[in-house]
Amino acid sequence: MTDDYIKPVHEPVLMHPDDPPIIVSWARAIFNNHALTYHREVELQFIKQGQGAYFIQDQNYAFKKNSLVVIRPNELHRLIPHPGLRLEKYTVLFPENVLDDGSKLACFPTDFPRHIGLSERDATDVEIILRSIEAERRYRRSYWLEVIKADLKKLILFIRRNRIQDNEDALEPENQLVKEIVSYIEINFAQDLTLNSLSEIFSLSPSYLSRLFKRSTGLNLKHYVLQRRIIEAKRLLENDPMLKISAMPQMVGFNDFPVFNHNFKQIAGLTPSAYRKVMNKHNE
C-alpha cells in the first residue's frame, strides 16, 4: 500500500459532547504523507519547527519555522511534509460560531492570507496562548470554558493583527497551471478523468503533467481524483441521510458498487454504510 492511500488524520472531527468545541493538539514527529481531507471546522496550524507545505483547495503553500497556516471550513487540504524532517506543530480546530458573541471573528474571509510568518517573539506569544488552552482543557478549573474562549479570541485577534500577505496572487506559471487543472477536476471529478485525457485538454505531455501535479499536490493524478471522489461520497453520506448508498457510485465517478465500496473502505477505514452509522450517531 502506498503513502497515497494513508487515512485522513482527523476527518470527520468528532468532538465529545462534554468537551469544549475547541481542540488543540501538539505533535513532534517525522510525519508521513496524508490523504486529502476536509472538515466543517476552522483549522489553524502553528509550525514551531520544521518545514514543508500544505496543499489547500488548488494551491501549494510552503511553510517553515514559526508559520501559521489558516484553513477554512470544508476546504480540501493535505499536509506535504519535508521527507525525513521532524516537524513540531500545534493543530487548532474550532467551529466558526465558537465565540457566540456576534463578532464573526472566527470566520476568516476568502481573501485572508493562508500563510502568516511570525517573528520569534510573536511565535512565543502564540505558543503561550495554545498552552493556556491546553491547560484549561486538562484541569477544568472554575470558568475554564470561558477562559478557553477568551484565549481563542485573543489568538484570532493576534492572527488578524499579524497577517502578512505572501503575494499569493502572483502565482508562478506552473502554480497557475496546477490551479487550473485542479479547478477542472473539481468540476468534472465524476467524469472519466485520466492522465491522457487531461494532457490533451491542457496541451501537455502526460509525463510533464504527472510530474507537475505530483510536485504541487504531493499526490499523483489518479490518487487525487480517487480521493476527491471518496470525499464527495462522504459529503453525500453526511448531508443526505435518505440517499441510497447503491446510488452513490455513479454520482461520484465509479462504474460499479464493489469498486466504490472497496476504495471507500480503503481510504476512509469504514464501509459507506458503517460511515453513515457513525455520522448519524454523532449527530443525534
pLDDT of res. 224 = 94
With cut-offs at 50, 70 and 90, classify the pLDDT of residue 172: low
Do 140 and 187 share a structural domain? no
CA dist 142 and 60 (Å) reads 43
With cut-offs at 50, 70 and 90, classify the pLDDT of residue 76: very high
Evaluate whether residue 168 is within a structural domain.
no
Which CATH number characterizes residue 126's domain? 2.60.120.280
pLDDT tens-digit readout, 184-230: 999 999 999 999 999 999 999 999 999 999 988 888 999 999 999 99
Compute the average pLDDT of residues 153-161.
Answer: 92
pLDDT of res. 58 = 87
> Which alpha helices (H) appear in 52-143, and where do they start and end?
120-139
Do 144 and 75 share a structural domain? yes
pLDDT of res. 9 = 35
With CA atoms as reference, report the closest residue to 228 among 72, 58, 37.
37
pLDDT of res. 171 = 47
Evaluate whether residue 203 is within a structural domain.
yes
Do 213 and 113 share a structural domain? no
Domain with 129 in it: 3-161
Q: Helix (H, G, I), strand (E, B), or coil: what is residue 49? A: strand
Do 273 and 147 share a structural domain? no
Q: Helix (H, G, I), strand (E, B), or coil: what is residue 54? A: strand
Domain endpoint, select from 135, 161, 187: 161
| 70 vs 173, higher pLDDT | 70
**Total-model pTM:** 0.81
Do 177 and 155 share a structural domain? no
Do 30 and 120 share a structural domain? yes
pLDDT of res. 18 = 57
Evaluate whether residue 263 is within a structural domain.
yes
* Rounded to 5°, angle at Cα 112 from 106 and 113: 120
Q: What are phi and psi of 215, to 5 degrees?
A: -65, -35
Q: Which three cell numbers stand for residue 257?
A: 458498487
- Residue 274 pLDDT > 90, yes or no? yes
With CA atoms as reference, report the closest residue to 62 among 75, 72, 51.
51
pLDDT of res. 169 = 45
Look at the chain and report how many structural domains it folds into: 2
Do 153 and 23 share a structural domain? yes
Evaluate whether residue 129 is within a structural domain.
yes
Task: Name residue 115's beta-bridge partners.
Answer: 69
Evaluate whether residue 261 is within a structural domain.
yes
Q: What's the chain's Rg over C-alpha atoms?
A: 20
Cis peptide leading into 8, omega within 30 of 0?
no
pLDDT tens-digit readout, 10-55: 344 444 555 668 999 999 999 876 789 989 999 999 999 999 999 9
Which CATH number characterizes residue 228's domain? 1.10.10.60
Do 147 and 14 share a structural domain? yes
pLDDT of res. 165 = 46
Do 228 and 140 share a structural domain? no
pLDDT of res. 204 = 94
Contact 92, 22 (CB under 8 A): yes
Q: Which three cell numbers stand for residue 250?
A: 455513479
| 2 vs 254, higher pLDDT | 254
Average pLDDT, the chain: 87
Domain endpoint, select from 136, 161, 186: 161
Considering Cα of 171, then 175, then 180, then 185, what sign does the dihedral take? Answer: negative
- Residue 281 pLDDT > 80, yes or no? no
Domain endpoint, select from 161, 193, 211: 161
With cut-offs at 50, 70 and 90, classify the pLDDT of residue 164: low
CA dist 111 and 100 (Å) reads 23
